[in-house]
Structure formats: structure tokens, C-alpha cells
Amino acid sequence: MRIFLFTLLLYACNTGQQQAKVSTTTTPDAAISTTDSIIPAVYDTDGKLIKVTKSDEEWARILPAKSYNVLRKEGTEYAFSGDYWKNHEKGTYVCRGCRLPLFASSTKFESGTGWPSFYEPIDKRYVTENRDESLGMTRVEVECARCGGHQGHVFDDGPRPTGLRYCINSVSLDFVKE
């Protein structure tokens, strides 16, 4: 069963963009060709999350420019400019790079920052947190644990029950409606 799931994951990650619905927009920052699917986490026999690895050239080819800049170059989008900061639909927010489910709409809240904010990930194992000392301050960076894509930062000024605010870039995510 694990071999089947591993094979399915590899197939989906390596050919998903070919099977996806193609966007009709021709601008460089058009939404990445997506499917309405979520690719679940798959673990190896040691219980470690199986990673998605692509070269920088591959990422640049399959991601829109804005998503590539954020996911692979640790950039950020302008506040109040992303697709999801005002989204109130029910569903799941997945990593735009590998489609790992990262955040549930039930944990999203209005932070007033202009970025989608969540008080917890779907599974703590799905995000990696790293010390970030860029821009003359110390913050905690959030990455997708499967593909290493930069998502945003986490702060300790969120609501109950966790007190956390995962401040995430819309261009790092896709939304799968319930």
C-alpha cells in the first residue's frame, strides 16, 4: 500500500501540471495550472514525510512569477493584494508548489494585516518553522514541509486557542472548496 501511495505521489507531483486544467490567461503571473485536488502526505517506512524535490529551473517553469518569487526566493506579496485574505468560503488551503494541505478554512481569521491568517496548520508536521533574521528583525518563517516552499511567518499574537497567527502569502497557496 505504501509503495502504491508513494508511486501515486511521485506521479502526481511530476506530471500534475500536464494533467491540470490550463489557465486561459497569458500574463506571466497567471494562476498556476491547478486541479481541485489535494495531494495527501505520504510517509516512508521510517515515518518521515516524503519530500518533493525539483531544480530551481523546474520551479521557475511551473510556477507563476509571483508564486516563484515567494515560494522559492522567500519574497512576499503586497498586503491586501492576494486572492485569499478576504476569502470566507469553506475548504482547504494547499501549498501551491506541491498541493500538501496546510490550513483549514475553519482556522482562518481576520487579522487586519492584509494576508490570510490562520491560528494553526492542519497538521504541525506539514509546516517547518525556521528562524528568520532578515529585514533587521527576528521572526519565525513558515515553509511547506514537503517541498520547502516559503509560505510566510508565524507570530504569537493570534487568537485562542493557540495564540498564534500564521501570516501566509496568498500566492503560496491554492484553495480547494469543500
Cell numbers given for 105: 478554512
Q: Is the pLDDT of residue 21 over 70?
A: no
This prediction has a pTM of 0.80
How much is the average pLDDT of 12-25? 33
Contact, 101 vs 126, CB < 8 A?
A: yes
The sheet with strand 91-95 has its strands ordered as 101-104, 91-95, 173-177
SS3 124: helix
Catalytic residue among 95, 98, 144, 167: 167
Assess whether 147 carries a catalytic annotation: no
How much is the average pLDDT of 160-169? 98
Backbone angles phi and psi of 127, in degrees to 5: -125, 150
SS3 108: strand
Is beta strand 139-144 parallel, antiparallel or unpaired with respect to 127-132?
Answer: antiparallel
Q: Convert the pLDDT of each residue in 86-122 to its tens digit.
A: 999 999 999 999 999 999 999 999 999 999 999 999 9
* % of residues, the chain, pLDDT over 70: 80
Q: Convert the pLDDT of each residue in 144-159 to its tens digit.
A: 999 999 999 999 999 9
Domains of the chain in sequence order: 2-177 (2.170.150.20)
How much is the average pLDDT of 72-89? 96
Residue 41's pLDDT is what? Answer: 94
Closest CA to 41 of 69, 70, 9, 14: 9
Exposure class string for 47-86: b at 16+ Cβ within 10 A, else e: eebbebebeeeebeebbbebbbbbbbeeebbeeeebebbe
Contact, 95 vs 151, CB < 8 A?
A: yes
Residue 37's pLDDT is what? Answer: 87
Q: Convert the pLDDT of each residue in 34-55 to its tens digit.
A: 557 899 999 999 999 999 999 9
Q: Is the pLDDT of residue 30 over 50?
A: no
Name the CA radius of gyration of the chain, rounded: 16
Beta bridge pairs of residue 127: 144
Higher pLDDT, 139 or 22: 139
Residue 32's pLDDT is what? Answer: 39
Residue 76's pLDDT is what? Answer: 95
